[in-house]
A = this chain, B = another copy of it.
Amino acid sequence: MACNRSDVPIESDLSEKFRRLVEVGLALTSERNVPVLLGRILLEARRFTCAEAGTLYLVTPDGKLQFSVVQNDRLGHSEVLVGNDSRPITIEVLPTSIAGRVTATGMALNIPDVYALPDSCGFQFDSSFDLKTGFHSQSMLVVPMKTPEGGIVGVIQLINVRHPGAEEVTAFPKEHEELVLCLASQAAVALSNANLTRDLQLAYSEAIKRLARAAEFRDQDTGEHIERVSQYAAAIAEALEFPPADVSKILLASTLHDIGKLAIPDSILLKPGKLTDEEYAKMKLHPKLGADILAGSENPMLHLAAEIAISHHEKWDGSGYPRGLKGDEIPLAGQICAVADVFDALSSVRCYKKAMSLEEASEFLRKETGRHFSPRVVDAFFGVMDKISMIHSRFSA
């Protein structure tokens, strides 16, 4: 879409702009990754209006404004501040600030020159960013991101209309106000949907992990074993270049690898001494019992969990149980979980034994490669040893 030059009447391309707005709406509502979505929202709003800079604020649950995306073509700067590791800056919603005013009233503000605001208007431009960077803010279009239910989830602040090649900054034309308001509403819906999906996924994985931990706690000193095994397994899967969705599935499914122990009586599971042959035979039923609990579901995560449960005690050379599978007859997720499970058992303290050092445990993996463990999986494991150590130390801290 070409930007309007001031010599082209705005009205002539209004229908074209609306057409483009529908396209943008489609793109936004199908994006489910929240940080990607936020960057995209601001970029599209800037493209629409030829704004050379912009800021997207999100309204936090306690009613503050959070700097979430900052883009500035003039300074060559583009950053999404919300996501996994970053710590976004949160500011009070002062009704005397421009974004604060928009949040409080739910109305857009179209300001030709932020340095020429009359004192009487009741809000002011904060020039600290300009002073710090040498950037000169002039025109601004600031719109609320309103959901159809009327809630304000954020504010889009567009700065300086500058047409390609033009020197001068112009004001945002009145005709763009409605378009950007529409875009902001589409963005608000897209964001609510993406947040809902993320919250549901978080709730899902938290609930599964807790129940897995609860099931495990009959025979473990702590619930940390399954948490670590799950993180080790996910790290290995990443190293083996599993797609992100499959890594997430492994992360969750591997927490359930020992769920079959629920069906093993206390007298065997908790026996302090050595098991008799008969008791050991019963104990070795837990992979099959776990698969029975988990099998027969259409849920892909549970399906994978059943596969892991039944195959995590198989060995590469065929000497494992319950099916005595060999090499790549063993499902890959089971091969991965075997490495993660044994490595963690060796490298952590139990009530009846000390922990091996990471070096000793690694040495054991190396020695058992091609016997107990899949060579490919062990390779992948050592390829992410830094990550493995980090997970290990996170828990022992």
* The stretch of A12-20, A126-134, A352-360, A383-391 that contacts the partner chain: A12-20
A297 and B189 in contact (CB under 8 A), knowing A15-B14, A26-B148, A30-B148?
no
* The stretch of A37-45, A49-57, A211-219, A280-288 that contacts the partner chain: A211-219
A104 within 8 Å of B by Cβ?
no
A189: chain B residues at CB < 8 Å are 26, 29-30
Closest Cβ of chain B to A20, distance in Å, is 9
Distance A64 CA – B63 CA, assembled complex (angstroms): 48
Decide if A266 touches B263 in the complex (CB within 8 Å).
no
Decide if A215 touches B217 in the complex (CB within 8 Å).
no
A81 within 8 Å of B by Cβ?
no
A262 and B217 in contact (CB under 8 A), knowing A18-B15, A211-B212?
yes
Distance A193 CA – B198 CA, assembled complex (angstroms): 12
A220: chain B residues at CB < 8 Å are none
Distance A15 CA – B225 CA, assembled complex (angstroms): 61
A294: chain B residues at CB < 8 Å are 210
A30: chain B residues at CB < 8 Å are 147-149, 189, 192-193
Nearest chain-B residue to A27 (Cβ)? B148
Closest Cβ of chain B to A211, distance in Å, is 4
Distance A197 CA – B293 CA, assembled complex (angstroms): 25
Decide if A293 touches B22 in the complex (CB within 8 Å).
no
A197 in complex: contacting residue of B197, B203, B208, CB < 8 Å:
B197
A25: chain B residues at CB < 8 Å are 22, 25-26, 29, 186
Decide if B193 touches A200 in the complex (CB within 8 Å).
no
A160 within 8 Å of B by Cβ?
no
Decide if B190 touches A299 in the complex (CB within 8 Å).
no
A94 within 8 Å of B by Cβ?
no
Beyond the given pairs A32-B196, A211-B211, A218-B262, 10 more chain A to chain B contacts, judged by CB atoms under 8 angstroms and listed by A's residue number, are: A18-B19, A25-B29, A29-B189, A30-B189, A193-B197, A197-B200, A204-B207, A207-B208, A211-B215, A214-B259
A interface residues (Cβ-Cβ under 8 A, vs B): 14-15, 18-19, 21-22, 25-27, 29-30, 32, 147-149, 178, 182, 185-186, 189-190, 192-193, 196-197, 200-204, 206-208, 210-212, 214-215, 217-218, 256, 259, 262-263, 265-267, 293-294, 297, 299, 301-302
Q: What are the 7 A-B residue pairs with the smallest beta carbon separation, nearest first?
A: A18-B18, A266-B266, A15-B15, A211-B211, A204-B204, A214-B293, A203-B299
